Amino acid sequence: MKLEGKRILLVGASSDLAVSLNDMLYKSDNLVGLHYNINEKSLLKYGEGKKLKKFQKDLNSSSACFQLVDDFVSWSGGIDCLIQLSGDIKNPVYWENLTEEEWSYDLSVNLIMPFFLAQRAVLHMKNNGGRILLTSTASASHGGGSVSLAYGVAKAGIECMIKGMARDCAKHNILVNAIAPGFFLTKFHTEKIKRTQEQLQERINLIPLKRAGTTVEFAGTVMYLLSESASYITGQVIAISGGDWL
Ligand SMILES: NC(=O)c1ccc[n+]([C@@H]2O[C@H](COP(=O)([O-])OP(=O)(O)OC[C@H]3O[C@@H](n4cnc5c(N)ncnc54)[C@H](OP(=O)(O)O)[C@@H]3O)[C@@H](O)[C@H]2O)c1
């Protein structure tokens, strides 16, 4: 898998899922931008230098998304790969109790902001081609979860969006795909959705491989999808899920 000499922006590098991906990118021979919103401490171990820069941005508007991509491009001279891992749930309540504000927030963070990030990246990639990798979830094509319905709907939107973008961006040699993680034991489950140990184990029991995915497995798939080896893959949703939902 050849991945070197690229300008790579990782949005949501401060996520638990990105831990091994950050390490791999840090050690690689690429120009890397690591984005975070409030969790700066997760990136403290990575010193800034010629090959790495950190970018703070609350992605709450199209202009914030444009600014982040443009700031990265100003530093690196262009963008070859955009990876979007950012995601959130405002309030993990049963869908009958979801408010308009919660619904709008989940759609914004998980669908609308990724759209504007991708839209801006395409603008910069048109001359040289590139890769865009957005994040869905394995549950998106199965109706989402009962306490994460708006989130699931947003992620399903990602799956539609990457197909449309991939079709239109092929003429620019821009490949657009999505990753659909299954179950990874991150603070998303423990702190956001507040699953108990028993619930976590029940969730794991549903997975054919009977375990959560590891961040190394996640990072390996992402690195593959950005590499030359994946140059004929576009418009696809790649599940990293241990057979979840089969
Ligand atoms: N864990 C799983 O099993 C699983 C399964 C399917 C899909 N996913 C998806 O994988 C991605 C990472 O998940 P995770 O479990 O690692 O979650 P996480 O640790 O909670 O990370 C969430 C990421 O999103 C960023 N973010 C949230 N709101 C933001 C905002 N308004 N502006 C900018 N950035 C914002 C966070 O930045 P700060 O922390 O710096 O604020 C953080 O980098 C998400 O898209 C999630 O939906 C995860």
190 Cβ inside 6 Å of ligand 1: no
pLDDT over 80 at 26, yes or no? yes
Ligand 1: nearest atom to the Cα of 13:
43
CB-based contact 149:139 (threshold 8 Å): no
Is 206 inside any structural domain?
no
Ligand 1 pocket, mutate which of 9, 10, 11, 14 (most atoms under 8 A from CB): 14
* Short-list 30, 8, 40, 41, CA closest to 132: 8
Is the C-alpha dihedral spanning 159, 160, 163, 166 positive or negative? negative
Sheet bearing 237-240, strands edge to edge = 52-56, 31-36, 7-11, 81-84, 130-135, 174-181, 237-240
What is the rounded CA–CA span in Å between residue 40 and residue 139? Answer: 29
* Domain assignment present for 189: no
Q: What was the pLDDT predicted at 218?
A: 98
Rounded CA separation 178/155 (Å) = 10
pLDDT digits (tens, 9 = 90+) for 185-243: 999 899 988 899 999 999 999 999 999 999 999 999 999 999 999 999 999 999 999 99
Would you state the pLDDT for residue 120? 98
Does residue 1 register a pLDDT over 90? no
Distance CA 190, CA 184 (A): 11
pLDDT at 53: 98
Atom of ligand 1 nearest to the CA of 184: 3
Query: CA 133 to CA 224: how far, in whole Å?
Result: 11
Look at residue 192 in the predicted model and tell me its pLDDT: 87
What angle separates helix 100-107 from helix 149-169, to the nearest 10 degrees? 30
213 lines ligand 1 (CB under 6 A): no
CATH number of the CATH domain containing 19? 3.40.50.720
* Cα-to-centroid distance, 171 and ligand 1 (Å): 31
State how far the alpha carbon of 23 is from the alpha carbons of 8, 14, 27, 48, 169, in Å: 14, 12, 6, 14, 30
- Indicate whether 208 belongs to any domain: no
Residue 194 lies in a domain: no
Ligand 1: does its nearest atom lie under 6 Å from the Cβ of 58? yes
Mean pLDDT, rounded, for 16-44: 98
Question: Which pLDDT tens digit goes with each residue over 127-184?
Answer: 999 999 999 999 999 999 999 999 999 999 999 999 999 999 999 999 999 999 999 9
In the prediction, which pLDDT does 2 show?
81
Q: Give the residue numbers spanning the domain of 80.
A: 7-184+214-240
Q: pTM of this prediction?
A: 0.98
- Tell me if 143 is assigned to some domain: yes
Cα 170 to ligand 1 centre (Å): 28
Percent of the chain whose predicted confidence (pLDDT) is above 90: 96
The total number of structural domains in the chain stands at 1
Catalytic annotation, residues: 151
Closest residue by Cα to atom 47, ligand 1, is 87
Percentage of the chain with pLDDT > 70?
A: 100
Residue 154 CB partners (closer than 8 Å, separation 6+): 106, 107, 109, 110, 111
Tell me what the mean pLDDT of segment 89-106 comes to.
97
| 39 in a structural domain | yes
For the stretch 37-87, pLDDT in tens is 999 999 999 999 999 999 999 999 999 999 999 999 999 999 999 999 999
Q: Establish if 76 belongs to a structural domain.
A: yes
The number of the ligand 1 atom at minimal distance from the alpha carbon of 136 is: 7
**Structural domain contains residue 192:** no
Our answer on whether the CB atom of 59 is closer than 6 Å to any ligand 1 atom is: yes
Give residue 193's pLDDT. Answer: 86
Q: Distance (Å, rounded) from C-alpha 178 to C-alpha 240?
A: 11
Return all residues near 6 (Cβ < 8 A) that are at least 6 apart: 30, 31, 80, 81, 226
Neighbours of 203 (CB within 10 A): 17
